[in-house]
Chains A and B, each alone.
Chain A
Amino acid sequence: MRKLSSLGIHLFLIIASVVSLFPFVWMLIGMTNTSSDIVKGKFSFGTMLQSNITKLLDMTNLGAAFGNSALIAIVGTIGTLVLSSMAGYGFEIYRSKGKDRLFGLLMLSMMMPFAAVMIPLFRMFSNMGMLNTPTAVILPSITTAFMIFFFMQNTKSFPRELLQAGRVDGLGEWRLFAQVYVPTMKPTYAAAAIITFMNYWNSFLWPLIALQTQDKKTLPLIVSSLASSYNPDYGIIMVAIVITTLPTVLIFFLLQKQFVQGMLGSVK
């Protein structure tokens, strides 16, 4: 009886794993086939990889899109880490009634649906003449209540004695932050960096609104526009999807430990 239930559990988990992994296998196979083979459900590797890649490069400005995505994700992540960790540190280390109230207010922004702010944001950036720039994509999410909360939670376990020791050594408050806090909290920064990078890299709705010319578009916008054309070429699309997915999958495998810990740390 015991063996049977354990077998059942494994069977269930194997099915769940196969379902989870299937689309990944599907995109790798699709990358090597023609569009009509993909639509017909051919499930074996083909010989079209080279031609799909060449056609994709001819049809789209893929290099530029990759560059735009990378620029937005990297600058956005650095900005978010600096600003959110500053706030998380400030809220947790220097507690006061006023700051607790402000923190509570900021947390409300987590409940605000993006659809409710996108039109005013669009007009705001349009008035500033900043539409169609990476800055317009980066700024609205450069500090999020979630990331501040994340840093604040992790700061709870930061040893305060380090700050006292630093103060005795005559370090100013900003230098304490930069030279004592930041190096100590490296794992927290790593986890926050992964989560933020993925959010920027994968974002769609706001870039769709904010970026208008072909040369400014990011990878998800390219994938979406290829797929929504009248007669989509799935072979080409699969290559674009693999290129879009590869960086985040690589980051996940390289930093799996921090990533999972980061996800866990935010709810403790």
Chain B
Amino acid sequence: MGSKWNKSSLMGWQFVLLPSALILLFSFYPMLQSLLLSFQSGKGTVYQYVGLANYGRLFSDPMFKQAVLNTLLYLIVQVPIMLMLGLVIAYFLNMPKLRFKGFYRTAIFLPCVTSLVSYAVLFKSIFAVDGILNKMLMSIHLIQEPVAWLMDPVWAKVVIIAAITWRWTGYNMIFYLSAMQNIDPSVYEAASMDGASKTRQFFSITVPMLKPIILFTAIISTNGTLQLFDEVVNITNGGPGNSTMTISQYIYNLSFVYTPNFGYAATVSYAIVVMVAVLAFLQLKVGGEKQ
């Protein structure tokens, strides 16, 4: 029996060894390399150890501060809006008597299959100064003059937030919808008998029951927003005047656009690592405690 167990365990290792090795090689090894690189500085191929100099520079770098603030702003504003919207839409689509569900679900999910680059460029054209959106808003007299969406530091951020919300709301909705379908309908029936309104049922039954999924989507959305790159590069390219620049774009610029400085770029990239870790920990803590 003992030898059979060993043999079976050994077999298992054959299946997992190569895939695990690839993840270690292409994720963990580069993470370590990045860490080492963050203590070095140099240009081209000549690098030397500079201790914490890069980390010192980080805290007095206005561009880094701006990129962090922008990224956090996207995170704080966009993620809650998107998750709430996804949750409400899923709640409506889960109503047993609602008609045209299939159409609504497909329409709202469809943005998720577009490439980030393509939809970003579409948004850029829609939000042009003479563009379709301004034209539509003017025709219903919501605005008198065209708004220079992408030339204004505040509006440009709004456009980025609207774009991400457009692309990902349906994605989160699908997760919520599947979780809602696992809730026993008799729970709602009992609540109705007790006289609880639909709104009350949403907040007292649906949301608490969905907490693990909400936590899951909050973590993946946070993770995604902290890595925001494609949209910003293709809608505003970080402008006007760095007002929409994200941390990922700053790292890319430090590595491949400005005079390459891989050491400092690696240092900045560790700032994202720390932020991802801290935020995931906080979310787990908050999500876990309420249960």
Contacts and interface: CB of A to CB of B under 8 A. Distances in A.
Interface of A: 5-6, 9-10, 12-13, 16-17, 19-21, 23-24, 26-27, 30, 38-41, 43, 83-84, 86-87, 89-91, 93-96, 98-99, 102, 106, 109-124, 139-145, 148, 173-174, 177, 198, 201-202, 204-205, 209, 219-221, 223-224, 227-228, 234, 237-238, 241, 244-245, 248-249, 251-252, 256, 260, 263-264, 267-268
Given A119-B266, A143-B23, A204-B117, A224 B125 contact: no
A267 B98 contact: no
Interface residues of B, number: 92
Contacts, number: 268
13 contacts: A13-B89, A13-B108, A23-B111, A39-B130, A90-B14, A110-B223, A114-B227, A116-B272, A118-B252, A118-B269, A204-B230, A248-B113, A260-B174
B157 interface: no
A19 B163 CA distance: 11
Given A27-B122, A109-B27, A248-B114, 5 more contacts: A9-B98, A17-B108, A83-B19, A223-B117, A249-B113
Nearest to B220: A110
Nearest to A260: B174
Contacts of B115: 201-202, 204, 219-220, 223, 244-245, 248
A177 B248 CA distance: 40
Interface residues of A, dominant DSSP: helix
B174 A202 contact: no
B113 A39 contact: no
A116 B269 contact: yes
B226 A113 contact: yes
Contacts of B288: none
Interface of B: 8-9, 11-16, 18-20, 22-23, 26-31, 33-34, 37, 89, 92-93, 95, 98, 100, 103-104, 106-111, 113-119, 121-126, 128, 130-136, 166, 170-171, 174-175, 177-179, 198, 213, 216, 223, 226-227, 229-230, 233-234, 237, 247-248, 251-252, 255-256, 262, 265-266, 269-270, 272-273, 276-277, 280
A163 to B, nearest CB: 11
A145 B9 CA distance: 21
Contacts of A110: 223
B118 A244 contact: yes
A90 B13 contact: yes
Contact of B123 (A23, A83, A116): A23
Most buried by A among B29, B103, B117, B276: B117
B255 A119 contact: yes
Contacts of B247: 115
Contact of A94 (B8, B136, B174, B230): B8
A101 B277 CA distance: 20
Given A220-B115, A249-B113, A173 B11 contact: yes
